[in-house]
Amino acid sequence: MAEALRIEIVPSASLTQSLHQEIVALCTRAYEEEFSKILALFDDPTHVVAYLDGELVSHALWIPRTLTYNGAPLRSAYVEAVATEPRYQGRGYASAVLRALAAAITDYDIAALSPSDPAFYTRLGWESWRGPLAVATADGITPTPGEDVMILRLPKTPPLDPHGTLVAPWRPGDVW
């Protein structure tokens, strides 16, 4: 009989070199691009990993980011690197990982991500941000038209109009 999907939350301080290498390999296969430099860009990630019969089959992470909504700061869990081993895609493992992630981030004001497949996230309760998006740089606020961002409302989410302005702090790599 096959083992049930086992999900673990792994803060960056507890991430072993072996698990880090497994995550890089999984994300590299899922995204079809070398992922080690991308993962290195994330400050203080918390990983959510899923195992099936002892094999890492799915992953996501969140990083703390302060997003600004209409000028007010929101403590955000920003979700990145949602990936499932290609031969296991379509079996609900990423959905299970994201549900576990959502249950683990209830102390944040909001969750956000830049989706590759908005319909997938919509099924899990995420909603598209419809208002202006921008990034805060040393030179001020720079609009980021063409970006796609989704949010997940959490127990501490204040009233938000998804047509308002949402600003992220600048970071290397993809700003959103």
Domains and CATH numbers, the chain: 6-169 (3.40.630.30)
pLDDT greater than 90 at residue 2: no
Those residues whose C-beta lies under 8 Å from the C-beta of residue 60, and which sit 6 or more positions away, are: 47, 48, 79, 80, 81, 82, 83, 94, 97, 98, 101
User: Contact 121/80 with Cβ under 8 angstroms?
Assistant: no
pTM for the whole thing?
Answer: 0.95
Report the pLDDT averaged over residues 29-48. 96
Percentage with pLDDT > 70 across the chain: 98
Q: Per-residue pLDDT for 1 more than 50?
A: no
Q: Give the tens place of pLDDT for each residue, 63-118.
A: 999 999 999 999 999 999 999 999 999 999 999 999 999 999 999 999 999 999 99
